[in-house]
Amino acid sequence: MNKKDKKVINIFLRYIFLILIALPGFGLLYEIFLPLTKYPVYWFLQIFFDPVMIGNTLTIGPKIIEIVGACVAGSAYYFLLILNLGTPEIKSSLRIKLIFLSFLGFLIVNIIRIIILSVMYIQNSPIFDFVHKLLWYFGSTILIVLIWFLEVKIFKIEKIPFYSDLKGLYQLSSLKKKKFHFTLT
């Protein structure tokens, strides 16, 4: 198999993997990250409060905190996966490391976010709704971009997600314009 064929197969496999994960509707990501999110939140809140957890719901006195799919942010993990798998020329071992580190970083910050919002809610903070909406609409997106840019800088990733793949495919294609040299005599 020549180098061009390997490049095309690599692109094909990365994008097929992304499609296969998306087809069931991110269910796998939620199955993985819901317990990884709710239990640390519950354990931390146990330090200061007396929460009762039933399913995905925490009850602290009269306050009810439900950790729903949106709290877990499965689409954010998928977006990190898209950025990672959409970037060519990363060795498999480094790609696995990048995925693990980006997921871990997002998970930790997301847990901290839920804990802070939970404490604000329990304490009847007057800015709870504002902070909750601000973090909901802008926080996750900014965090994903920051995580990706940090990984790009630390691991010296030079390729651009999707664009580099498209450029590479174009270079391999028959659509590429051939340069004609005209000589005047």
Residue 184: inside a domain: no
Residue 177: inside a domain: no
- pLDDT higher than 90, residue 7: no
- For residue 98, what are the contacts with CB-CB under 8 A and spacing of at least 6? 84, 90, 151, 155
The pTM for the full model equals 0.84
Least Cα distance to 12 among 84, 85, 81, 80 occurs for 85
Residue 65 structural domain: 3-164
Residue 175, pLDDT score: 65
d(CA 93, CA 149): 19
Residue 40: inside a domain: yes
Say how many domains are in the chain.
1
Helix (H, G, I), strand (E, B) or coil at 159: coil
Residue 13, pLDDT score: 86
Residue 174: inside a domain: no
Q: Quote the DSSP letter at residue 49.
A: S
Q: Quote the DSSP letter at residue 177.
A: P
Residue type present at position 136: W
154-177 tens-digit pLDDT: 999 888 887 777 787 777 776 666
Q: How far is CA 33 from CA 29, 68, 74, in A?
A: 6, 11, 7
Residue 170: inside a domain: no
